[in-house]
Amino acid sequence: MKTISLIISVYKKVKELEILLTALKRQSCKDFDVIIADDGSGDIISDFVKEFRKTCDYEIIFLTQEDAGFRKNKILNEAVRTSVNEYLIFLDSDCIPHKDFVKAHFDNSEKNTVLVGRRIHLNEKLSDMLTPEFVLTDDFDRLYLRALKSSIGFRKSTYTAEEGIIIRNKLLRKLLNIRNYHIVGCNFSLSKELLLEINGFDENYVGAGIGEDSDIEYRLGLINAKFKSVRNLAVVFHMYHEKTKEDNTNYDYFHNNVKTKNNFYCENGIFKPYKFIQTD
């Protein structure tokens, strides 16, 4: 049995998923399996995964659900339930990991601690460079240099390119004050035990934004979980796409419900409350 489950959320992004899964073949840490959490893409993803399994040296577990709108949190909870491993890393299908991504998360893991990373937002030109063949080469390791160059200027530029510079020296990280304690759903990790304490992801969020990161961060904070930055260690390259429109109802629910109740345990999470049905 492996130690780590890498949970990848996806919705219809076959091209990006193939590049990501190919990059995982090159990970320096091999102690992981992959759980693909598909939010109802249909045959387009399931058929691809069936074929890709034949080419890779790690286990892939494929989970899907009916396409009934944005229900990312629901399929993420199913992935957490399915995992038999003690440590969970979360990644989005359009975020391509550096070869030391899994190693960075696992080497820095601590009890009662959430590791939070960031991403390099590639522009369209650099995103088009990413292919399954390219991510298996040493040139992919140096992509951050191209990202830094393309971040100069304002028109169609890459941004947060500095996140691609890997800094391992602990003293230098301290001197540079490399910190970030806010979760982004595409690059964070924690123990399964810790996530189960708050009952996983709240399935009352049914649109993009808040539910897969800010809500989790807030409720983990209520149980005094620690947050540790793996910026400039666990590096991912985010492929270009038009900005996702976030759902205002999620903000309303988070501020008017979750924060008002101040409850770390969500009822509509991994474990559902038992409902007693009276019969005559």
Q: What is the pLDDT of residue 270?
A: 97
Residue 167 lies in a domain: no
- What is the domain-level CATH number for residue 226? 3.90.550.10
Q: What is the pLDDT of residue 247?
A: 73
Distance from C-alpha of 150 to C-alpha of 128, rounded to nearest angstrom: 14
* DSSP single-letter state for residue 131: -
Residue 17 lies in a domain: yes
pTM (two decimals): 0.94
Residue 43 lies in a domain: yes
Distance from C-alpha of 185 to C-alpha of 9, rounded to nearest angstrom: 10
At 114, give phi and psi (nearest 5°): -105, 130
Q: Which domain holds residue 11?
A: 4-119+180-236
What does each of the 280 residues of the chain score in pLDDT, given as a tens digit?
Answer: 579 999 999 999 999 999 999 999 999 999 999 999 999 999 999 999 999 999 999 999 999 999 999 999 999 999 999 999 999 999 999 999 999 999 999 999 999 999 999 999 999 999 999 999 999 999 999 999 999 998 887 666 788 989 999 999 988 988 877 777 899 999 999 999 999 999 999 999 988 889 999 999 999 999 999 999 999 999 999 999 887 777 789 999 999 999 999 999 999 999 987 554 554 4
Q: What is the pLDDT of residue 154?
A: 65
Residue 257 lies in a domain: no
The amino acid occupying position 74 is K
Q: What is the tally of structural domains in the chain?
A: 1
Distance from C-alpha of 41 to C-alpha of 16, rounded to nearest angstrom: 14
Nearest Cα to Cα of residue 163 among 148, 142, 181: 148
CB–CB of 46/11 below 8 Å? no
Residue 156 lies in a domain: no
Residue 155 lies in a domain: no
Distance from C-alpha of 160 to C-alpha of 207, rounded to nearest angstrom: 25
Residue 144 lies in a domain: no
CB–CB of 175/245 below 8 Å? no
CB–CB of 100/17 below 8 Å? no
Q: What is the pLDDT of residue 221?
A: 97
Residue 246 lies in a domain: no
